[in-house]
Amino acid sequence: MDTINVDATRAGASKTDVARWRRAFPILKNRVRGKPLIYLDNAATTQKPWSVIDAVSHFYEHDNANVHRGVHSLSQRATDAFEAARARVQAFIHAASPAEIVFVRGATEAINLVAQSFVRPLLAPGDEILVSAMEHHSNIVPWQQLCQQTGAQLKVVPIDAAGELRLSEYERLLGARTRLVAVTHVSNALGSVNEISAICAHARAKGVPVLVDGAQAIAHVSVDVRALGCDFYAFSGHKCFGPTGIGVLYGRRACLEAMAPWQSGGDMVRSVSFGRTEFMPIPHRFEAGTPDIAGAIGLGAALDFVSAIGLDVIGAHERSLLDRAGAGIEQIPGVRIIGTARHKAGILSFVIDGIHPHDIGSILDGDGIAVRTGHHCAMPAMQQFDLPSGTARASFALYNTHAEVDCFVEGVRRVRDLFR
């Protein structure tokens, strides 16, 4: 297993750098339908490096025990590793304290936790929750259900033809009845990067809390939750080279301390009698039951892996991949890119005239190229662009190469030619 040379990688991503990064991911040696795997579905989930696989395996081989509950050595080691992972997350997103880091199953559970425990007690009929038109279903449906339950209203900030948030409309919609702004950092369907600092500043001026869905941002851009000014930040480990089933809710201390537990059970209680229950302090009061200990440890290893390379280096490399792919796709007649914001992450959604996205994905799979097709859990955004069948989406990560991008572009050209 290769180690990462921090000083070398911070200078920029060369072919040698990328080749070394790729060797850290065993799945990339696989072949699909007899062809080398070209994995361009990173917005759905990323692959896992050896350091993450080894961290999870080591826990189960050497330290497996429940946390917070035992005095024996294994339990103490498990607890130390679990809480060390929490500290790694805190450092990675620049939170003020490990107490502001809540382990959950993923961004979806994090958003639902905020909806039920923080926002629901604030709502009265006629109050408003503000979301954007580019949101993932996970940042729409929980608020929609909450509005149905309380008589509140869901307000939607529109996006323009490029897939950019209309900030002037956001400012107009941000009103006296707004109780929360919930907005994505990076659109999973369009790649648009939102101006989170500006969004938070406008909300803060009116005393409105902000939740940011960071699932698509966490592995691609530097996140400083205090500099952004958000009250909550949610992300999933599996989109940042970590295990599935583990995620994080960052909550500003004052917000978390104002919240009652959403789920109840073991480990989140200080004392229980049939007369009353006293809950643990934050963050443990939100982590009922046995947590995904191995997942948290694996997530910590994933963040270490990303930090060793540097998000500045990763971002520059992914930008070069996106630029190369976009330039190649634009040269193919009948192919149209969906989402052309000025600030984009490494996501390229596209359609080919007269060809269903599922057919595009199936044919590319025959060449070993994995892309995502359909609505990308962002049906309202697809409706805005009048795309009832959705798009095909290539999404890039640090281990993708320019040669893979060229194969992808040529694959799209062959798909188009098959239907001419």
pLDDT the model gives residue 420 = 81
pLDDT band at 15 (very low <50, low <70, confident <90, very high): confident
What tokens appear for 57 in the block?
Answer: 């395996």
CATH architecture of 6-48+310-418: Alpha-Beta Complex (3.90)
CA 286 vs CA 80, 146, 209, 283: distances in Å: 19, 20, 19, 6
Q: What is the pLDDT of residues 119-155, one digit of tens each?
A: 999 999 999 999 999 999 999 999 999 999 999 999 9
Q: Is the pLDDT of residue 11 over 90?
A: no
* CA distance to 230, 396, 400, per residue, from 183 (Å): 10, 22, 28
The first and second tokens of residue 405, run together, are 């991008």
The whole-angstrom separation of Cα 232 and Cα 142 is 15
pLDDT band at 16 (very low <50, low <70, confident <90, very high): confident
Is a pLDDT exceeding 50 seen at residue 236?
A: yes
Cα angle 70, 72, 78; round to 5: 70
Q: What is the arithmetic mean of pLDDT over 389-405?
A: 98
pLDDT at site 387? 97
Strand-pair category, 391-395 with 347-352: antiparallel
pLDDT at 9 over 60: no
C-alpha 67: how far from chain center: 26
- Tell me what pLDDT residue 200 has: 98
pTM: predicted TM-score of the whole model, two decimal places: 0.95
Instruction: State residue 70's pLDDT score.
Output: 84
Fold of 54-307: Aspartate Aminotransferase; domain 2 (3.40.640)
12 pLDDT band, cuts 50/70/90, is low
Is the pLDDT assigned to residue 335 strictly greater than 60? yes
- What pLDDT is recorded for position 10? 39
Per-residue model confidence as pLDDT tens digits over 64-114: 999 998 899 999 999 999 999 999 999 999 999 999 999 999 999 999 999
So where are the chain's domains?
A: 6-48+310-418, 54-307
User: Mind telling me the catalytic residues?
Assistant: 377
